[in-house]
Amino acid sequence: MEKKFNESSLNDLTIGNGKSGGNSGTTTNGGFDVERAIADTMKRFNLCHEGTSSGSKKNKAVVSFNAQKFIKNFFDEVFDLLKMECEIKVRFNGKMFYVEICGDESNFFIGKHGILLYSWQSILNLSLKKHGLKLLLDAAGYREKRKNSLSRHAIRAAQTVLRTGVKYIFEPMDSWDRMVVHEALHSVPGILTHTEGDDSTRHVVIELNLANVK
């Protein structure tokens, strides 16, 4: 029998937006329609187009893509649409942009179990992917909270596997979450972790390292 990890058990990761009147999963914020704001912002930034050009039809000059400026302008537009006093911090490690939304209202961009945070991240990555770039989005320190909580759950799951011999299957998670689980259990004796599934169904499996079983 296989035991599945239930995302809803991460109660300490449930960070509400504080403006929905307790209605979990809402996409509104004080009367603002988040989905509408997302659609409007995508339209303004032409996220469905491959690039930007200027000049005449006979002599078009391709405008170089400034990713950091694009990210900043994108969120400035979002903050303006939602009438929020927030700001972003952007850093680049040579491979990926790390963007953090800061401010008293930054919790709004997290949503229940991070669903809004991952949605905003996906939207930005749709455009950055065209330029061979990628972004990891954070808000109000959510990533660190999730990392700590998910690591604790992974360790408890590994202890259960060691005790029972039954493999443990997590529900589908994004690549960052899967990396957290793999890293948390990398040095646990007698345990192996690997990823299974395709696309949105990719998940981590914890099982006994049979090579260490005598």
Q: Residue 207 domain-assigned?
A: yes
Domain with 179, as residue range(s), is 143-212
Domain identity same for 51 and 89: yes
Q: Residue 131 domain-assigned?
A: yes
Q: Look at residue 143 in the predicted model and tell me its pLDDT.
A: 95
Domain identity same for 107 and 188: no
Q: Look at residue 31 in the predicted model and tell me its pLDDT.
A: 46
Q: Look at residue 79 in the predicted model and tell me its pLDDT.
A: 94
125, 140, 155 - which closes a domain = 140
Q: Which residues of the chain have pLDDT under 50?
A: 3, 5-32, 48-62
Q: Look at residue 200 in the predicted model and tell me its pLDDT.
A: 86
Q: Look at residue 156 in the predicted model and tell me its pLDDT.
A: 97
Q: Look at residue 210 in the predicted model and tell me its pLDDT.
A: 80
Query: Per-residue DSSP letters for the chain?
Result: --EEEPGGG-GGG----SSSTT-TT--EETTEEHHHHHHHHHHHTTTTSS--EEE-SSSEEEPPP-HHHHHHHHHHHHHHHHT---EEEEEE-SS-EEEEEESTTGGGGT-GGGHHHHHHHHHHHHHHGGGT--EEEEETTHHHHHHHHHHHHHHHHHHHHHHH---EEEPP--HHHHHHHHHHTTT-TTEEEEEESSGGG-EEEEEE-GGG--
CATH classification at residue 155: 3.30.1370.50
105, 140, 175 - which closes a domain = 140
Domain identity same for 127 and 158: no
Q: Look at residue 130 in the predicted model and tell me its pLDDT.
A: 87
Q: Look at residue 127 in the predicted model and tell me its pLDDT.
A: 87
| Residue 162 structure tokens | 């060691």
67-111 pLDDT, tens digit per residue, is 999 999 999 999 999 999 999 999 998 889 999 999 999 999 999
Q: Look at residue 36 in the predicted model and tell me its pLDDT.
A: 62
Domain identity same for 109 and 122: yes
What is the number of structural domains in the chain? Answer: 2
